[in-house]
Amino acid sequence: MKKDIFHAFHMLPIPVNHGVHPAFLRALRDHILHWDPDAKNAVGEVCHHHFGLMFDQMLSQNPQFIMARTPRYVPPPSVLVPAIDHVYDMF
């Protein structure tokens, strides 16, 4: 059965008030949705030139700026399955 990412996330049986819920979903999101490398480099150069920050520093200080300018993509299953296994093993 095929699902889109949004609905797959909402099918996970984790109680909303569980202590690990936010960290787990962030880790899963970051392992499933990868930054587009070309856009990441371009946005990283802009961040460095205008703000004096690297991409990851800007992401932690102003995630809306990064997310508005850097698209994400879902990698092929050969990359995706080990990434999801890694997140489940971590938690």
- Is residue 28 a part of any domain in this protein? yes
Any domain includes 67: yes
Q: Examine residue 17 and state whether it is found in any structural domain, yes or no.
A: no
Residue 48: its pLDDT value, please?
Answer: 96
11 within domain boundaries: no
At CA 66, angle to CA 88 and CA 57, rounded to 5? 80
Is residue 1 in a domain? Answer: no
Q: Which domain holds residue 85?
A: 23-90
pTM of the model: 0.74
For the chain, how many residues are written? 91
> How many structural domains does the chain have?
1
From the list 22, 23, 27, 28, the residue with the least C-alpha distance to 8 is 28
The per-residue pLDDT string of the chain (91 residues; one tens digit each, 9 = 90 and over) reads 677 888 887 788 888 888 888 899 889 999 999 999 999 999 999 999 999 999 999 999 999 999 999 999 999 999 989 999 999 998 8
Whether 41 is in a domain gets the answer yes
Question: Is 12 inside a domain boundary?
Answer: no
Q: Residue 8 domain-assigned?
A: no
Q: Which residues contact 34 (CB under 8 A, 6 or more apart)?
A: 72, 73, 74, 75
